[in-house]
Structures are given as structure tokens and as C-alpha cells.
Structure 1
Amino acid sequence: MPVPLRTAAFWTVYKLLDRAPVMQQPAEKVRAAADARAKFLRMPGAWLIAGRADPHAEITERAAKSSDGVELPLRVYRPKDAGTAVLPVVVNFHGGGWVSGDARQSEWWASALAAQAHVVVVSVEYRLAPEHPFPGPAEDCYDATVWVAEHAGEFGVDPQRLAVMGDSAGGNLAAVVSLMARDRGGPAIAQQILIYPSVDLAADLPSEKENGNAPILTSKDIATTPGLYFHNSTREMTDPYASPLRATLDDLPPALIQTAQFDPLRDHGAAYAKALRAAGVPVRLTNYVDAVHGYISLPGIVPAARQALAETIAEVREVLGAVG
């Protein structure tokens, strides 16, 4: 079954405009390539591909403090009709291979989740590799999650109804933050939402070959990423805080895992779901037919993105007890 025509056409045009895939650049050129991609995705008319912010969500900016005193930008989405209500909170980590992306990424998704699930979504701008390699991004995400829980009153949120969410590298980070919170005694995490996550950087799963030349993410991107994310890729790739599939998975929060049919990382999500279930963790796994990696950033190209959003809204409402 081929990639849908609309998605294939977009990818053909995009490759002509973006000739420097970020994750395939040498370390000294990654930041410039990532910045160029970010500008491209914010050009006039880009909303036709990336979607618009939900008008029923209020968007503000804050900053969290990392354990080493650095301010980490936060983009906060809250339902406009929430008033002074104390709401559940979802801490979100963007994708981008640990080397690109920012807190504004997938704004249509974060704002719609806030407005329609009646929760507060806090998107974290963690420091990126190669300038800040492993475990830097994971530690920043954990620190931001702790900070949000400790400052719950300032956000109008209930720290006992806290979830973590992320897509791609952000899905990896959400899984890792769940592990860190368990291992370090908090904060309490009620749910983990992992969207086409990478969960084993030392693995070679069948979908990486089957979808090796798929749109958005290729097997070459996957092969070159460890050289950018790690000091010592051979040793660090198997660290459980880099590859959570290699961790002991007992006593973790329930998980929603979404994968995409035409994604090299598709089998990562399925493998993590199987491992979590074996450890007694409740899991809902959904594989979206005709979808490609990165679909939560491409609602105008991948129709399944809106179906995936609806599923996420329903799961957040059920697990966190959101009302509205």
C-alpha cells in the first residue's frame, strides 16, 4: 500500500525547498539547519499544513528553572472559559530528534487539547543537542515537570492530575520522565501520552527498514541521530534514560501510545506497549493507517491527525478526570 498521494506530493515539494535534513548535518551545522526549518514552517500560509491555534485556548508564556539554574521557556495553553477552576495539567515535550523544534511546535494540537479536554497544556522548550547532549534534554524535561508540579497554584492546576506527553523524540522524553519520576520519588504522574515515540536507540526494528524512505523521517535520519545526541553513542544508547524499552517498567503510569503506518518508528511504539503490558501497566495502543511520522505537526497533510487528537482528548478526559 503506497503513501497517500497528498502526503507524497507534500514531501516531494518539501524536499526541494529543504535540502539540508537537520539530523543528517554535521554537528556544527545542525543549529543553522534547524533554525532554517523553523522559519520555513512559520512562513505565511504555513497554517494550511501545520494548522491554527484553537481560538478557545488562551496562550501565555512562562519559564521554568532547571536544576542548574537555567530558565526553560514554557508555552502555556489554558481554556478561555476555565475561569479560576483548578484543572488537570499535561506537560508536553516537542519532537525534533533531540536537536530541533521548540515549545511552539504543534500548536494546533496543544491548544486544541487544552480547549477540548479542558486541561492546561504546558509545552517545554528544553535545551537541544548537540550543544546539550544526553542526558541534558531528559534532565531539562524532568526539571520542568517538577517545576510545574511545585508551582501548580500559579498555573491553576492540580499536581495530582498531571500527565506527560510528547511526540517522536518528545515521546521518548515523556517515557523517560515517567521513569525518572518513579525512580526519584516524584512528581506523581497519572498518565503518559507517547506519540510515535523512539524507545530503543540501539534497536533495529523491522519498520525501520520497511519505512526506511518514508516521508518526514528516514532510516538515514535515525542512523545519524545518535552521533548528535550522545557523547559516547555506543555506551549511552543503551542507558534506560535514553532507551526506555531497556528499563524495568514496573509501577509506571498508564500509557496512550500512538503510531503511524508509514513510520520507521512504528514498531517502537508496539514494542513499548508490549513491554509495559508485561509489566502490568495499562496501555492503549493505536496505529493510524495512512499516517506518517510527524502527523501531529501536519494536520493539513495527514487527515488521521485529527482522529488521533480526538482519541487523545478522550483518553485525557478519562484518565485525568477532566470536566468541561
Structure 2
Amino acid sequence: MSLPLKTRVFWALYKTFEFAPAMQQPADKVRKASDLRKKMLALGPSRPVVGGTNKGAFAVESSLTLDDGTELPLRIHRPTASPQGPLPVVVNFHGGGWVSGDVHQSEWWASSVAAEAKVVVVSVEYRLAPENPFPIPPEDCYAATRWTAGHAVELGIDPAKLAVMGDSAGGNLAAVVSMMARDRGGPAVALQVLLYPSVDLVGSYASEDENAHAPVLGKKDLDNVPRLYFHGVETEMSDPYASPLRGKHEGLPPAVIQTAQYDPLRDQGYAYADALRAAGVPVRHTNYVRAVHGYISLPGVVPAAHQALAEVVQVLGENFG
């Protein structure tokens, strides 16, 4: 495995401190492990690894209230210098295997997309399993997307230029929200940006064994997550809103799919690109060599993160002007 030196050094140090990977824990220990990981990554010394808020953007905190009274926090990134008129908007869903992570995990990425693409990025703090299992996370994300489109004037956005974006489990959620929007009559999604997405919780892929012990995400994580995300009902795993590869893809918005060479999820991204193309959906797929899972949250140690950002900014510009 020919990883960049910075990536190798980071992973060696990280393994020294993370004793309990959140996605490998039993249900009653997931939250403690997840909270510990968040505290580690929030420490000052981690800033050179995870990056910070892009200087060309600023963030404000907001929230939306669901029909059942649940309040979902939102972190809204806006470019400090932007053109006149309503801006395009990107609704962003963080990764973390549906059981960990938060909006701050993708701070560098979300703020950089806002600053460089001149768009508003709405990052969603959806509820996490195992306390809130499937289908709660995708329903939260769909509700946040509807809320964003419905508050266009307040947010200063153009709802006709709305994209969804996510990495890993967040990539799954972005793909699922695209399906929900198609199936439920809106809102209109113009583009889906899927970063090393998990799209099939049923099948097995060669990249899972090839990268079983890769940095950040390994086969043990993939094997345990379904026990945490679902109620124990096996049929839920093949539901298209859980495994979008298993659904119908006609009528979905154009997609940007990014994958990483050293990622057990890599081949799922390839499979989803093929499925979308077969349904007539325009797809741009890039596999980043020498990159590992989670690179958009690790810009200081995975060089490909910056190239990946440039690609997404370019595609947003091409689609939204």
C-alpha cells in the first residue's frame, strides 16, 4: 500500500490514541467512543490535519424543527464575497457510518466549497444510530433538504440550483435524498455529489478485502455498522433508501462520484456510477489514487483532498454558473 508519507505518519499516530473505533463498538458503547473521537479531533494539535474554516467563508448556526418537535442543528456556510442575487445551495451530510460524526467534521470541506464555488452550504446535524436507527437519518436529511428549498428567500438562495452532497455514510444519504426527492415530488435536486459513498449494505466487493486493514475505515467497521444502523430486520438492508444501488435510478439528477484507491468502499462507487449510467443519468466519476477513505476531513495529511475540492468546485461552476 503506497500511501503518502503524511498519511502514513498520521495513521500511525492516530492508532496510538484511538483505542475504541466507534463503528466497531457494541450499541451501548458507540456514543462514548464517538464523543471521544470528536474531542480528539477538536484539540488544537489536530488543526494541521483536519483543517479549519476557509477564510473566504463564514458560518452561522441555525436549526429546523421537524413535525415531531425534534430540532435539527444546521451549520450554514456562506462566501464572504459573493455575486449579487440568490446563490446556489448545497445541502451537505457528514460521514461517520450513521453512528458518529457531526457538522464540524466537514468544516474545512464545507467552508471551502462555499468560498470557492460561491455557494451556500447547509450542513445538517441529522440524528444518529443506534439511538435513532434507519430510516430516521435519511428522513432527517430529506426534511432538511425540503426545509432549505422552502426557506429560499430567508437563506438568499436559488432553489432551482440545489445540490446534495455527502461523504461515506453522508454520500449514501445524499444519494437517498435524491431518490426521495424524485419519488415524493420534490424538491428538485439538480446535482448529487457523492464522496466515497456507501451505496450497498447487502453485497460484497473486492475492495473490501483488498483494503480490509486500510487507514480510517476497514472491513471490521463495515461488518459491524449494519448491527448499529438497523433494527435487526435484515430486509431493511436491501431497502433502496438504505442501499440505493438496489433501487431504480431513472430520473435521478446528474452525479459526481469520487472514490479513493485505498478504501474498502471504492468498488461500491464504481458500481453506482455504472448503475446510474445504465439508467441514463450523467455521471462524472474520479478515483483518487493514493487516497484513503475520509480524505475530505483530512486535508492536511491526504494531498488528494485539495484536488478533490477543485473538481467539485469546477463541477458546481459548470452546473450553476
Tell me which interval the TM-score lies in, with the shorter structure as reference length: over 0.9
* 2:121 aligned residue: 121
- Contact 1:238/1:246 (<8 A) preserved: yes
Whether 1:53 and 2:53 are equivalent positions in the alignment is: yes
Counterpart residue number, 2:301: 301
Alignment of 1:71-220 (within 5 A): 71-82=71-82, 85-220=85-220
- Name the TM-score, length of structure 2 as normaliser: 0.98
Offset from partner CA, 1:230-272 (integer Å, 9 cap, x none): 0024211100000000000000000000000000000011000
Runs of 4+ residues over 4 Å off in structure 1: none
Offset of 1:149 from its aligned partner?
A: 0.5
The 8 Å contact of residues 3 and 290 in structure 1, kept in 2 or not, is answered as yes
**Cα displacement string for residues 27-64 of structure 1 (whole angstroms, at most 9, x for unaligned residues):** 11101110100000010121100012111112101102
For 1:215-226, what aligned pairs fall within 5 Å after superposition?
Answer: 215-226=215-226
* Aligned pairs for 1:227-306 within 5 A: 227-306=227-306
Identity fraction in percent? 64
Partners of 1:16 and 1:82 in 2: how far apart?
43
Count of matched residue pairs: 321
Contact 1:227 1:233 in 2 (8 A): no
Partner SS for 1:241: coil
3-state DSSP of counterpart to 2:208? helix
Taking the aligned partners of 1:6 and 1:112, their CA distance within structure 2 comes to 21
Is this contact kept in 2: 1:67–1:143, CA < 8 A?
no
The one-letter code of the counterpart of 1:280 is G
Q: TM-score, normalised by structure 1?
A: 0.97
Deviates more, 1:265-274 or 1:58-67: 58-67
What is the CA-CA distance between 1:8 and the residue it aligns to? 1.9
Q: Distance in 2 between matches of 1:235 and 1:40?
A: 36
Matched residue type, 1:52? G
1:294-317 Cα deviation digits (max 9, x unpaired): 000000110010000000000011
Q: Structure 1, residues 182-218: CA drift from partner, whole Å, max 9, x if none?
A: 0000000000000000000011011000001000000
Query: Following the alignment from structure 2 to structure 1, what is the Cα–Cα distance between the partners of residues 143 and 12?
Result: 39
Gaps of 5+ in 1: none
* Deviations 1:81-136 (CA, angstroms, capped at 9, x unpaired): 22763100000000000001111112111111101100000000000000000000
Q: Is the partner of 1:214 in helix, strand or coil?
A: coil
Residue 67 of structure 1: how far off its partner (Å): 3.4
Q: 1: distance between equivalents of 2:293 and 2:222? A: 12
**How far, CA to CA, are the matches of 1:72 and 1:46 in structure 2?**
27
Aligned AA for 1:64? L
C-alpha distance in 2 between matches for 1:248 and 1:214: 31
1:16 maps to what in 2? 16
| Secondary structure at 1:216 match in 2 | coil
Whole-angstrom distance in 2 between the partners of 1:87 and 1:285: 26
AA matched with 2:18: D
Q: Which amino acid aligns with 1:120?
A: V
Q: What code does the residue aligned with 1:245 have? A: L
* Whole-angstrom distance in 1 between the partners of 2:236 and 2:55: 43
The DSSP-based 3-state class of the residue aligned with 2:105 is coil
